[in-house]
Amino acid sequence: MGYTVDYTQADQYDGSNMNNGISGCCAPSGRRQLRQQGPPLNNPNKKPLSDAGREKAFAYGRKQLKDNALPPGLALPDDVTYVGDKIISVLIIEDGEVYEVSVGA
């Protein structure tokens, strides 16, 4: 490719400079202790989403797909395929459980 790397010129890395001076960014000592809050995402015993909940998710998804339509006459490059108005995943909480509903145009 036309270049070489001199590894003897690299700074020693020990992890202490991992967060680049940004408090709480990336270094293990500054990591946020993430804990799940709210309903569980994978409960094998949850009941199916109700018909009313599913219809609510579909109605919301259809509206979002309509709102995501590209303006008429907007030209995209030949190698770009816009799908923002074709499919969307809607997350809905019902009876303390999270459900995902895929909505297509």
Residue 1 domain-assigned (yes or no):
no
Residue 25 domain-assigned (yes or no):
yes
Bridge partners, residue 101, by sequence: 90
Give CA–CA dist 104/99, Å, rounded: 16
Give the domain range for residue 20: 7-104
Please list, in sequence order, all residues whose beta carbon lies within 8 angstroms of the beta carbon of residue 104, skipping any fewer than 6 positions away: 86, 87
Residue 42 domain-assigned (yes or no):
yes
Strand extents, DSSP E, 1-105: 87-94, 97-104
Residue 12 domain-assigned (yes or no):
yes
Whole-number pLDDT of residue 81: 87
Give residue-wise pLDDT tens across range 12-50: 666 665 655 555 555 455 455 556 566 666 677 889 999
Residue 2 domain-assigned (yes or no):
no
Whole-number pLDDT of residue 96: 87
pTM of the model: 0.57
Sequence letter at residue 11: D
The count of structural domains within the chain is: 1
* Average pLDDT value for the chain: 80
